[in-house]
Amino acid sequence: MPLLHHLTTPERFSKQASAVSLPIIMRTTLLTLSIALTACGGSDDSTSTSPNLPVLPDDNSNQETHTHWLPAGGAATINSDVARPFLQIIPKLPSHLLGGVSTGRELFITQWTPANEGRALFDGVGPLFNANACTQCHSDAGRKATYLPNGELSDAILFRLGDKQGIAHHYYGEQLQHQSIDPSIAPEGKMQYTHTTATPDTPAGTKFMFTPADSNQPLGSNAISGRISPQLVGMGLLDLISDADIIAAADPDDHNQDGIRGRVHWVYEGNQQQVGRFGWKAINSSLRTQNANAMSQDMGLTTSVFIEPNCTVNQPICWTAENGGSPEVSDSSLDAVVDFMTALAVPERRIDDLQAFNQGANLFAEVGCASCHTPKQKTGESIRFPLLSQQTIYPYTDLLLHDMGLGLDDGVKEKNAESYEWRTPPLWGIGIVARDPEARFLHDGRARSITEAILWHGGEAEAVKTRFTQLTDAEKENLLRFLHSI
């Protein structure tokens, strides 16, 4: 079953309707939506776990030996669906939230068009962009294929530009856009790749090549860094982890002398300092900002959060082309997308042998992986989604920036995140992604397996990587089996 049936035709609604009429129209379909959402969310029991996961009092520790587990995503947990494990809706969603979530899903799956093509609610993409639909990059089955034959790349990878001082390219800006709305408008250029061979010090990797559409606009001294599209799971839960908990976990001066110096990425949004938590370098502080940023940089859609086109002053096309309104995505539409993203569920763990799973969890902690990939977090209060409040969850991230060493230094500083710093990516669902033989890992997809991703770790994680390499083959297999199960 799709996430939700197309119960309405997107083109029926105008931009004005998105602010007033749309919620009224959606109320007439709430009962049908409730049935669809329950079916798509898997089990309708928000406290259910797989048969191998007994529900016992939690031990409130990220470091102790685990002998029992609560549901992976708390009340947002669903039974794992092999066919569509991601982009599923949390169970027992209150009826008054169905309208916003359904509308957000329609906006998420629709193909946006250029301005003035007769689709008032869904127009304004470009004129330069990377994708015209969120689903071009994000799939309900896992991660979209990135590396295509003959050196070609899919839309599921984008490229950030800059240097170690954080200065963007004078012409292209912070991100390359490889598509345009009209053949007469040249995109910024074309990206291709070649695979590199392994050396005694590093696994095989990937090299990117850029061919500018305008030969007078080379990259110059700017570095270019790939960013693959992550799977979307439990986004609302990550948004609800308190700033205080993230700050408390930071240890930038390594006071405990464990070699791990995670630090908060403080970012400014709306002239206020915020804790960054979303994106490969934690450049966005909230799910709302994350979505608005993706609409801006990836799709060329303006919002009240990013009201200017995604172009530099040296690219007049973005300032002269017709737009889809100002902003092109209304606040009510942006809120609906945030509602949909907030409602994304977490697939339950897939465990055949609980004893072996626990042994793998212990190895994960002993090797030191848990020092950054913090197994357990707790959400704060949510007024809009109260069922997500005070939930114990297992995302395996501290949402902090870490120095990952020279091998993962991409040469691009973003906001206050140095070129060698990366936010700890959540690991829940990584085993589902890894089932695809074409799956890729790390920020630019250079790693072809979880093992390769571990071997690329350096900097603060150098000792952790060394301890992993010193495990016996049986211990490595047990640890990897654990990762494939979470």
**Res 41 pLDDT > 70:** no
Q: How far apart are CA 405 and CA 392, in angstroms?
A: 32
Q: CB–CB of 326/307 below 8 Å?
A: yes
Backbone angles phi, psi at 289, to 5 degrees: -65, -40
The predicted structure's pLDDT at residue 28: 35
Strand residues in 23-117 grouped as ranges (E): 77-78
Burial tier of 152 (Cβ tally within 10 Å: 0-12, 13-18, 19+): exposed
What are 63-95's pLDDT values in tens digits? 444 557 999 999 999 998 888 999 999 999 999
Assign 62 a pLDDT band (cuts: 50, 70, 90). low
Q: How far apart are CA 350 and CA 52, in angstroms?
A: 9
What are 118-177's pLDDT values in tens digits? 898 999 999 999 999 999 999 999 889 999 999 999 999 999 999 999 999 999 999 999
Q: Which residue has the tokens 């464990």?
A: 258
Neighbours of 206 (CB within 10 A): 20
**Res 5 pLDDT > 70:** no
0.85 exceeded by the pTM? yes
Residue 102 neighbours by CB under 8 Å, 6+ apart: 4, 7, 26, 29, 33
Q: Which residue in 423, 422, 432, 408 sits closest to 483, CA to CA?
A: 432
Burial tier of 355 (Cβ tally within 10 Å: 0-12, 13-18, 19+): exposed
DSSP state of 105: H
**Can you read off the two tokens belonging to residue 449?**
């397996």
What are 453-474's pLDDT values in tens digits? 999 999 999 999 999 999 999 9
DSSP state of 170: T
DSSP state of 229: P
Region 372-396: mean pLDDT is 98
**Can you read off the two tokens belonging to residue 57?**
């009092």
Rg (CA), the chain: 22
Q: Which residue in 212, 238, 326, 251 sits closest to 290, CA to CA?
A: 238
Assign 31 a pLDDT band (cuts: 50, 70, 90). very low
Assign 22 a pLDDT band (cuts: 50, 70, 90). very low
Residue 114 neighbours by CB under 8 Å, 6+ apart: 123, 124, 125, 126, 127, 181, 182, 322, 324
Neighbours of 171 (CB within 10 A): 20
Q: How far apart are CA 11 and CA 265, in angstroms?
A: 40
Amino acid of residue 295: M
Most confident of 17-26, 116-125, 141-150, 274-283: 274-283
Q: CB–CB of 302/321 below 8 Å?
A: no
* Mean pLDDT for the chain overall: 88
**Can you read off the two tokens belonging to residue 438?**
């074409």
Backbone angles phi, psi at 406, to 5 degrees: -65, -40
Measuring CA to CA, how many Å separate 24 from each of 99, 126, 209?
Answer: 9, 30, 50
Q: Which residue in 99, 82, 83, 78 sits closest to 237, CA to CA?
A: 78
**Res 1 pLDDT > 50:** no
What are 295-340's pLDDT values in tens digits? 999 999 999 999 999 999 999 988 899 999 999 999 999 999 999 9
The predicted structure's pLDDT at residue 67: 56
Neighbours of 312 (CB within 10 A): 16
Q: CB–CB of 140/121 below 8 Å?
A: no
H or E segment at 291?
A: helix 287-299
Neighbours of 154 (CB within 10 A): 15
The predicted structure's pLDDT at residue 44: 39
Region 10-37: mean pLDDT is 36
Region 30-45: mean pLDDT is 37
Q: How far apart are CA 429 and CA 454, in angstroms?
A: 17
Most confident of 34-43, 56-65, 74-83, 258-267: 258-267
Region 110-116: mean pLDDT is 95
The predicted structure's pLDDT at residue 66: 52
Amino acid of residue 296: S
Angle at 343 between CA 5 and CA 444, to 5 degrees: 100
Q: How far apart are CA 92 and CA 357, in angstroms?
A: 29
The predicted structure's pLDDT at residue 200: 83
Share of residues in the chain with pLDDT > 70 (%)? 86
